[in-house]
A = this chain, B = another copy of it.
Amino acid sequence: MKKKIRENQKRGNALSRDRVIETSIELLNGGGETELTFRALSQRLDTGPGAIYWHIDNKSDLLNAACDLVIARTLNAVPKAMAPDMAIRAVALAMFDMMDEYPWIGSALAQAGGKLPMVRILDVLGQQIQVLDVPEQTEWAAASALLNFILGVGGQNAANAQTAQRENLERDTFLGEISNEWSKLDPVEFPFAYRMAPRLPAHDDRADFLAGIDFIIQGLAKLKSNPDDF
């Protein structure tokens, strides 16, 4: 039996942190978090699982780095030369669209507290908040309110995508199922959900997201004009 030749290093196919991360992103984009295993990854990189550990600390480091790369690229592509409130909307929408297209990002972000990917988003938001000229002691609360709302939406989106994948459903039929479940709830115990059930399938996630961002921005504006309310 011929020995398998795999001298990647000498043939210019050398493993590198960047290649590991790029390939991880391919796997994640393709099939979500479930697809990213050290075995699948090493197979695609034509190497052994152990080799990856030379370039990466552990799985959470890997997920974090993959997430960070995608977020940095996305944030860089957002034009920000506009009024601060518009820039905040633009950044938020870019995050929404990214997490909508690649749900794994939302759950990766949820796992990385205070880490670089999160800090990137926070910082861009915070810069605009500064331009908005809110009182200094509320800058942090404002930026992290926006961030936490974005992370919350991204997390829910990721959870929905994963359930839909597990149950092998299209996104639309998945929403239909939830609507159906909600309409079977006790209208006395769950009046709101029961009432919202029929609206669920037709509603526009993206518009709702933007409305949420607007609530926060408007709340900030009100604080500026009426600081005694706070």
Contact = CB atoms under 8 A, between A and B. Distances in A.
A145 B211 contact: yes
Number of copies: 2
Contacts of A160: 113-114
Nearest to A191: B127
Contacts of A32: none
Contacts of A127: 191-192
Contact of A193 (B126, B203, B217): B126
A25 to B, nearest CB: 21
A158 B148 CA distance: 13
30 contacts: A110-B156, A110-B159, A113-B159, A113-B162, A113-B163, A114-B160, A114-B163, A114-B178, A118-B156, A122-B192, A122-B193, A123-B189, A126-B191, A126-B192, A126-B193, A126-B196, A127-B192, A138-B211, A139-B196, A140-B196, A145-B149, A145-B212, A147-B152, A148-B153, A148-B156, A149-B152, A152-B155, A214-B230, A215-B220, A218-B219
